[in-house]
Amino acid sequence: MKGTGIRRLAVPSAVSLCVACVYFACVVVICRSALNERPQRVGSEQSVLEDEYLWKHTLRIDKEAENDTEPRWSANVTLGRLPGWPTEFPSDLDAYRTRVMSSPWINATEKHQAEIAPWVWHHRGQADDLQSQIDSGSRQALTEMARLGIVPRASSLANAAFVVLIRNRELHAFLATMRQLEDRFNRRFHYPYVFLNDEPFTDEFMHAVAANTHSNVTFARIPHDHWSVPEFVNEEQAHRAREQMAARGVVYGGSLSYRHMCRFNSGFFYKHPVLQNVDWYWRVEPGVDFYCDLDYDPFAFMRDSGKKYSFVIALRELAETVPTLWDHTLQFMLERNITSNWMSYFVSRSGEYNLCHFWSNFEIASLGWLRSPEYAEYFTYLDHAQGFFMERWGDAPVHSLAAGMLLQRDEVHFFDDIGYRHDAFARCPALNSLAHTRCRCPDEPNFDTSPGSCLPRWKQLKEAEWTHRDTREALRLVRERRLFATGVEPPIAVERRRWYDFFGAF
């Protein structure tokens, strides 16, 4: 009897459960319908909370796929022209370019814009379109953002862009880097990318890159004037100099294209027509790694804290590539009577350049500073000294020495919370730091603490006035050492040099 009673109770209980489930499903459907049809409450606190919940619980970042170079998002990539740029061109583009370069123009910017216009393409990312709709109060755009895994911007952006100097063959190396940069940082902010190349970009390159970000992307060719040997350089002598450096085994010693790249990054990229309305840049190179999540905006930090230049790795340059760069820099400072409060960072005890510089394959900096008359004057001085071609001056020491001359110590920033690798040089925040908890650092030595790093010198640096007299003395010491090295140094110079070595004046 007891068993029968139990079976009788179990039947209605199962039926009741089924009925309850059906009832609950109907309630959910009715509630969803009512929510979709209700008037939108733009700006209400409840809407903000629901919106925040929506994207937080929809977005998923696959950390295990960071090295996957296949396009992450399927998208219909449409390439168009930049607003205000020419849209129609003749069929023979080479003849068009030659005609533009040989025609008179009011200024260089207009000439360069006309010259490269056929090879400038732009893709407007979905993030930009959807964010504009959200700012106008569209909830549907927010839902679409959540579906696509796009994070709405929490604040207004700085007027900034990623700047990438790259060749078509480096596509796959850059896609791996781009994946990390998007996941670690740009998925929250949607800063645009600007890609520059001395040759036209291929359709494959442009479509693959644009498909891997929801941000705006611009592809542009470099003007001929920015990537060529200037008239004041003797090309035959420059060719012999490259052969000599190659024979001595200097890295990139025989490469002309490498010299074009260094000169372009030193004095021309910020003059490119597509960057004229941009205030800040973050230089990115293909094949580099980013190890740490960034939950704040470095561009906004630089802008709001009065910084103008930043770095993550400081190291020493190859002495064979810059034998006279320091001499010319000191001469420039002497002629312009330039003083500084931290130029001593670059000076050895003997007055020579200690070769320390900020590695420019990563730098976030102000384009306004690079466009300043002071920096332009320094670059022009170096350019006419011909060291970019007769030697192998790099843009990293040029930017670094310019910062030492023209910026205050507190205008230069070290991003300790950004983990980064370029080639065999990698650095990460200290293990005991809060920043390290947001990183996935490799199990390899941290370059920050290696003997070749100049970071300890940066951290120990104290502001000290560098005067006109200091420049004059350093230049004299350098020149006397050069005479001594050739065996023609006068005895009085030998004694003075020994005195400086003993007392460590520098």
Q: How far apart are CA 336 and CA 318, in angstroms?
A: 28
Q: How far apart are CA 220 and CA 503, in angstroms?
A: 54
Q: What letter does residue 322 receive in the DSSP assignment?
A: -
Question: Could you give phi then psi for residue 425, rounded to 5 degrees?
Answer: -105, 115
Report H helices in 59-169.
93-102, 108-116, 126-135, 139-148
Q: How far apart are CA 170 and CA 167, in angstroms?
A: 6
* 489 touches 483 (CB < 8 A): yes
The three-state secondary structure class of 314 is: strand
- The burial class, CB within 10 Å (0-12 / 13-18 / 19+), for 53 is exposed
* 89 touches 61 (CB < 8 A): no
Q: What letter does residue 105 receive in the DSSP assignment?
A: -
| List 352, 363, 391, 480, catalytic entry | 363
Give the pair of three-digit tokens for residue 235. Answer: 């090309």
Q: How far apart are CA 299 and CA 76, in angstroms?
A: 30
* 370 touches 275 (CB < 8 A): no
363 flagged as catalytic: yes
The three-state secondary structure class of 469 is: helix
Q: How far apart are CA 361 and CA 358, in angstroms?
A: 9
Q: Radius of gyration over alpha carbons of the chain, in Å? A: 29
Q: What is the CA angle 151-153-158, rounded to 5? A: 135
Residue matched to tokens 């372009």: 264
Q: Tally the residues of the chain.
A: 506
Q: How far apart are CA 347 and CA 364, in angstroms?
A: 24
Give the pair of three-digit tokens for residue 269. Answer: 């990229």
Residue matched to tokens 């000191």: 330
Of 160, 109, 224, the C-alpha closest to 368 is: 160
Of 183, 156, 161, the C-alpha closest to 289 is: 183
Number of separate helices (H) and strands (E) present in the chain: 19, 13
- The residues that are catalytic are 363
